[in-house]
Structure 1
Amino acid sequence: MIRFRHCDPAGIVFYPRYLEMLNDTVEDWFDEMGFPFQEMKGRYGAGVPTVNLNIRFTQPCRQGERLLLALSCLKQGDSSIEIAIEGARRGQTVLEARIVLCFTTVGETIGKLSIPLEIRRQVAKYIRTEASVGA
């Protein structure tokens, strides 16, 4: 639901609010896979920051509208995951995002960390196949 707090004085979503929505979607995805962000440090000594982000906006959204965000995985590397999130309103695409997440150590020194096998297996279930591209 697009809320008052998401909108600028022109009555449309202020673009930084989309970044918060995208981050919420990523965090929810990890929760659904069984790897909540709040447990990532304790379980794996890891964080999962965004290291690259590209968004294309095609139409504005307004307060009261519903935005459906659909996440798929484009590819998975040793320490990174590239995902796509498509935002649609009433069946029309309003934004397309490509995000690269990187598993890193946390603490004073931050460095790449191989994605744990149990996470890798769950992420693989979301990898977009050629048949699903554009679907």
Structure 2
Amino acid sequence: MEYQFKIQFGDTDAAGIVYYPNYYRYMDNATHAFFEQIGFPTQELLEKRYSIPLLEAHCNFFAPGYFHRIITVTTKVEELREKVFKLAHQFKDGETVIAQGYEVRAWVSLKGEKPKAQPIPEELKHKLQQYQIGG
């Protein structure tokens, strides 16, 4: 699944190069866009009292991202377990891979006294499997 955005000036340093923590925000944005594209928009999840909180994130950087460039983020499901999933994100400027990262997230119910991890619903699991690496 692909998500595109234009690098904003406020995301860069004085040389117009993306400041590295912004890639984590970009991954978060790509995850929410991914969920919307597969029919599980974040707004609806929250209305139904579910969430997909971040448990772990990592990013490797290969080339600079520059102000005003259009970046394409490709998101795939790297791992799918009962309550947890791992999304892999690849950032490209044209044909150049500028970064790769991943996020580990849980399917969580917000219906009780405190958030609690739940098994991923079958309908969502089926959608995620369609974008699984090697699947």
TM score, norm. by length of structure 2: 0.88
For 2:26 and 2:63, the matched residues in 1 are separated by 16
Choose the corresponding residue for 1:76, options 64, 71, 80.
80
For 1:76 and 1:69, the matched residues in 2 are separated by 20
Point out where structure 2 has 5 or more consecutive residues left out of the alignment: 1-5
For 2:66 and 2:80, the matched residues in 1 are separated by 34
Aligned residues: 129
Instruction: From the two aligned structures, give the one with the greater strand fraction.
Output: 2
Runs of 4+ with deviation above 4 angstroms:
none
TM-fit CA distance, 1:27: 0.3
Q: Is 1:31 equivalent to 2:36 in the alignment?
A: yes
For 1:92 and 1:42, the matched residues in 2 are separated by 39
2:3 corresponds in structure 1 to none
Q: Deviations over 1:66-112 (max 9, x none)?
A: 21100011121001111110001121111010111111122641221
For 2:47 and 2:16, the matched residues in 1 are separated by 41
Choose the corresponding residue for 1:124, options 110, 114, 129.
129
Give, as a single letter, the amino acid of the residue that structure 1 aligns with 2:65. C
2:96 corresponds in structure 1 to 92
TM score, norm. by length of structure 1: 0.88
TM-fit CA distance, 1:51: 0.4
For 1:64 and 1:98, the matched residues in 2 are separated by 24
Point out where structure 1 has 5 or more consecutive residues left out of the alignment: 131-135
Secondary structure in 2 matching 1:15 = coil
C-alpha RMSD of matched pairs (Å) = 1.5
Instruction: From the two aligned structures, give the one with the greater helix fraction.
Output: 1
1:65 corresponds in structure 2 to 69
For 2:101 and 2:18, the matched residues in 1 are separated by 16
Instruction: Indicate the percent of aligned positions where both proteins have the same amino acid.
Output: 21
For 2:93 and 2:107, the matched residues in 1 are separated by 32
For 2:22 and 2:129, the matched residues in 1 are separated by 29
